[in-house]
Structure 1
Amino acid sequence: MAVRLMLLGADGFFGQHVRARLAQEPDVVVTTVARREDVMPDLQLDLTESGVAVAHAIREYAPEIVVNCAGSAVGEPAALAANNLVAVANTVDALLTAGRPIRLVHLGSASEYGRVPAGTAIREDAAERPVTVYGLSKLAATRLVHTAAAAGLDAVALRVTTPIGPEAPASGLLGRVAAQLRQVATEGSGGITTGPLEDVRDYVDVRDVADAVAAAALRPHGRALPAVLNVGSGVGTPTRRMVESLLTLAGFTGGLRMDGGGAHRDTSVQWQCCDVTAAREFLGWAPTRSLETSLRDLWESSATLAPC
């Protein structure tokens, strides 16, 4: 018998890749949910507007599993709070009051940890001190999921590090650099501008993230998970190296300026690397794609995106 799964945020960077990964599962029927009508979801729904509407959708489509890829990485504080916390609150409330068991897999963020000592691979039990509104909103949502799990909901939050790969949005650094490179190629001249590139990040391919989501969502019944699992490469990589590798892939020989703004000193995180031992143990998951593959596929996919 097929498993019914509802995918929230099916039109986003994570959602598109999770949807593609789940399509490989012949016994999974996916209901796609998105805010935008133009992406043709099975259900157009704004998770932030009405808890009643979310509860109605859960009753109507009767999913056994809900995967939440919805949310925002950029925007004003009110929008981040709505998209990253209110939407999760409405979803959790609908699942807790559904009257039947429903599994929830929620995508969190390593930004929830905030600053950590350089050289440290952060475990899930580390202190959480986010330094951005985004990180704070994601941490609040993760704690809500944790509380729901303590109340009996079969729920896990996957705390994802810095995602890269095909269709990476221009809201992220590497997607933005790729868009600039395409613009330079179109115009025949110009340079690349970024903010400071002194930080180290734990880059993970978005398709590896999708594999982790599938492993968490489709695990056998009765296999309990910790409330939070890190999902990343487990390796810290200098951001400058990633940018320079992307420039080399593109055959770019022009100038690179790093004075284009960036994170304020008060909200900057210089080091990010997460320990993914628990995800390996509980999900049987490990990242399989190299950073070179991720960058190559990001660059190739950027040919179809509009220039910045």
Structure 2
Amino acid sequence: MTGTERVMVFGAGGFLGARICALLDDRGVEYRGMSRSRGEPYRLCDLAEMHSYALDTQIGMYKPTVIVNAAGATLGAPAELVRANVIAVEALLASARDNAGHARFVQLGSAAEYGGGPHGSSQDERTDPQPAGPYGTTKLAGSELVLRAQRNGADTVVLRIFDVIGPGAPETTLTGRVIRDLRARQLIEVGSLDVWRDFVDVRDVAEAVVAVALADAKLPSVLNVGTGRATLARDVAGQLFELSGQPARIVEEGAPGVSWQQADISLIGQELGWSPKISLEQSLGDSWGCTK
């Protein structure tokens, strides 16, 4: 870190993007947040819809040294996922190449790109991606665009982030849905809880993103961000029930799908000294507490 960094965060209004911006602010790092859904303190920007000239102007005027792409969609029709997770990435890469060619490009990818693994195994960055659905497939397509840019000489890093939880988690996440339903009623409607996921707190993820953004050294093209420990989703829901102190009935919808995911995080530890600091218990406690 030189003190001259200017970080441009796309998707700044989202769960991850807002936390990244807050951490940059705490560290005294100059940044500009761009969001398609929120105005102040961020600038409105829809990567998939805005004219390329407008995007070029934004990037060209700010002259970022780092671009973080935290924008994307987790749910929606296939066309919506393609626009948010593929077309938006292509537009941002093209504008970065033409207007901030020396900037580091940090793409927030997803463990969904890997698909599932054998029970008890850990997925490292050499794991062959085999996404199981439209979300994972479109996230992989976006990541492949970033990796292609890296092969053509760009300074890019893809972070494959496992299941993010923590205070303020949206209702598209397991903990967000469970907390919403516990607050509103005693009926929990979720997908199958017989799946194992590597749950990592949003604050730890933000620390990893900022570490990658500000690192001086050249980094591997792909880095995993998780805890290295899978937890049964049913146990996570159970801990939230205990925190609520109230009974609830669970309605599970759909088959389990991908049954096991667990990150191998040794590479990011070796490269940056990063490791998660917030335990699952603390993350769930803070998540429940922040909604009271």
State if a TM-score over 0.5 links the two structures.
yes
- Aligned residue among 198, 212, 217 for 2:213: 217
Is 2:55 aligned against 1:84? no
Q: How much does 1:191 deviate?
A: 2.9
Alignment partner, residue 65 of structure 1:
66
Q: Percent identity?
A: 39
Distance 1:224 1:45 in 2: 29
Alignment partner, residue 18 of structure 2:
16
Q: How much does 1:42 deviate?
A: 3.7
Question: Can you give the 5+ residue segments of structure 2 that lack an aligned partner in the other structure?
Answer: none
**Residue identity matched to 2:76:** G
Match of 1:181, SS?
A: helix
Match of 2:106, SS?
A: strand
> Following superposition, which runs of at least 4 residues in structure 1 exceed 4 angstroms of deviation?
none
Query: More deviation in 241-250 or 47-56?
Result: 47-56
Is 2:214 aligned against 1:207? no
Is 2:235 aligned against 1:241? yes
**Residue identity matched to 2:174:** L
- State the Cα RMSD in Å: 1.4
Distance 2:153 2:285 in 1: 43
Q: How much does 1:91 deviate?
A: 0.7
- Aligned residue among 189, 196, 216 for 2:192: 196
Distance 1:270 1:163 in 2: 17
In the TM superposition, 1:151-300 aligns within 5 A as: 151-184=152-185, 190-220=186-216, 223-252=217-246, 254-259=247-252, 261-262=253-254, 264=255, 268-300=257-289
1:33–1:41 Cα contact (<8 Å) kept: no
Seen in structure 2, the aligned counterparts of structure 1 residues 256 and 224 have a Cα distance that, compared at 3 Å, is same
Q: How much does 1:149 deviate?
A: 0.8
Question: Can you give the 5+ residue segments of structure 1 that lack an aligned partner in the other structure?
Answer: 185-189, 304-308
Q: How much does 1:183 deviate?
A: 0.7
Seen in structure 2, the aligned counterparts of structure 1 residues 250 and 52 have a Cα distance that, compared at 3 Å, is same
Match of 1:97, SS?
A: helix
Seen in structure 2, the aligned counterparts of structure 1 residues 99 and 242 have a Cα distance that, compared at 3 Å, is closer
Q: How much does 1:9 deviate?
A: 0.5
Match of 1:32, SS?
A: strand
**Residue identity matched to 1:246:** L
Per-residue CA deviations over 1:242-267 (Å, capped at 9, x if unaligned) read 00001101112x233233x14x56xx
TM-score using structure 2 length: 0.95
TM-score using structure 1 length: 0.90
Per-residue CA deviations over 1:206-242 (Å, capped at 9, x if unaligned) read 100000001000111xx11111100000101111000
Distance 1:250 1:80 in 2: 34
